[in-house]
């Protein structure tokens, strides 16, 4: 029997999407796609829109993500073959919020689907994304302000460039197409802070939205996909940098040794407080202000605290 998802968690990235996905998995009446971030609607019919050598970072990112994603409809449906009698069937892919071509693809696939998004203050989201990228060796600059000043924001191609800290935070621009295509009753927007401060209430509301038992209690004590920093930078670079030598070793070494290296890498990470430059915060607030004000009206939610300097 063919099972199709009837809800999607579309993002945002670094806004608690991974934690929320794991909370949803606990509910016996909810089935979540076993593949983490299948990105199907982000890649089906997609291409890189190459701009030559200047877009090398974008091409690399595109090729890397596409290899990790599903772009075939049969392969996508196979992810839901183990659905039994669950009422809510879904998957989570933060790319869906960022890719402007995704809403129409989702609508054509299933116009009655339910959409869930969790949003984090875009200023804090950008910084968290930077810390995350630094920890994994994907960001070469050590200063956040330098990194966001290097990012080109006004580009038509979402794959352009290697830095996406700022561009990922224009939620109004990203959500508006969903509200144009889908009925408001099909969309629920939640805030990252609410999930962190009152997770039980948020989960109950989501369960009601998905029409499953809202009395089910979820264990929300574990946070997932946190931004951590390496204790030893040299060791971390050795274990994370994608060199040709490392790729060759992955092919030649036994899986047990590869997993051991991953364990060492994870143990080398720790949660530390990283200073958020004041000039960077003020700069981002000025960039996001117009989008935030429009978003308030779109989702009918007071977001004035996002515009505060501290």
Per-residue pLDDT tens digits for 114-168:
999 999 999 999 999 999 998 888 899 989 999 999 999 988 888 888 899 999 9
Q: Which of 3, 8, 2, 4 is nearest to 186 (CA)?
A: 8
The residue with greater pLDDT, 53 or 197, is 197
pLDDT of residue 245: 47
pLDDT in tens, 51-106: 554 566 788 889 999 999 999 999 999 999 999 999 999 999 999 999 999 999 99
pLDDT of residue 275: 78
Q: What's the pTM value of the predicted model, to 2 decimals?
A: 0.85
| DSSP codes joined into one string, 122-150 | HHHHHHHHHHHHHHTT----S-HHHHHHH
| DSSP codes joined into one string, 71-95 | --HHHHHHTTTT--S-SEEEEE-TH
Strand ranges (E), the chain? 7-9, 30-32, 88-92, 114-119, 187-191, 229-230, 269-270
Q: Over 70: is that where the pLDDT of 262 sits?
A: no
Residues 6+ positions from 54 with CB-CB distance below 8 Å: none
In this structure, the chain runs to a length of 310
Q: Torsion angle, CA of 194/8/100/297, rounded to 10 degrees?
A: -40
Q: Over 70: is that where the pLDDT of 2 sits?
A: yes
Cα end-to-end span (Å), the chain: 53
pLDDT of residue 175: 98
pLDDT in tens, 268-304: 656 666 778 899 999 999 999 999 999 999 999 999 9
pLDDT of residue 65: 93
Q: How far apart are CA 270 and CA 267, in angstroms?
A: 8
What's the mean pLDDT in 247-266? Answer: 60
Of 15-29, 130-144, 170-184, 268-282, the range with the lowest mean pLDDT is 268-282
pLDDT of residue 176: 98
pLDDT of residue 270: 62
């Amino acid at each position: 029997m063919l099972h199709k998802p009837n809800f999607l968690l579309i993002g945002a990235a670094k806004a608690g999407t991974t934690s929320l996905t794991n909370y949803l998995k606990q509910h016996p009446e909810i089935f979540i796609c076993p593949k983490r971030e299948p990105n199907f609607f982000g890649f089906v019919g997609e291409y890189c829109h190459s701009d030559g050598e200047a877009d090398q970072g974008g091409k690399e990112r595109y090729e890397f993500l596409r290899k990790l994603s599903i772009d075939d409809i049969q392969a996508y449906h196979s992810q839901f073959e183990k659905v039994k009698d669950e009422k809510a069937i879904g998957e989570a892919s933060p790319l869906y919020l960022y890719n402007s071509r995704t809403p129409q693809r989702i609508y054509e696939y299933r116009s009655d689907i339910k959409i869930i998004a969790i949003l984090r203050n875009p200023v804090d989201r950008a910084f968290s994304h930077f810390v995350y990228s630094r920890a994994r060796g994907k960001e070469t600059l050590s200063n956040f302000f330098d990194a966001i000043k290097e990012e080109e924001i006004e580009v038509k191609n979402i794959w352009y460039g290697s830095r996406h800290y700022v561009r990922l935070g224009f939620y109004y621009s990203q959500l508006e197409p969903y509200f144009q295509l889908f009925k408001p009753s099909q969309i629920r927007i939640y805030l990252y802070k609410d999930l962190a401060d009152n997770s039980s209430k948020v989960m109950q509301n989501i369960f009601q939205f998905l029409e499953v038992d809202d009395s089910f209690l979820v264990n929300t004590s574990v946070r997932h996909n946190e931004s951590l920093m390496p204790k030893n930078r040299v060791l971390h670079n050795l274990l994370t940098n994608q060199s040709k030598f490392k790729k060759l070793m992955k092919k030649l070494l036994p899986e047990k040794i590869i997993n051991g290296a991953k364990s060492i890498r994870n143990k080398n990470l720790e949660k530390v407080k990283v200073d958020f430059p004041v000039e960077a915060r003020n700069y981002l607030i000025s960039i996001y202000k117009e989008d935030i004000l429009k978003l308030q009206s779109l989702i009918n939610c007071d977001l004035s605290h996002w515009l505060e300097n501290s």
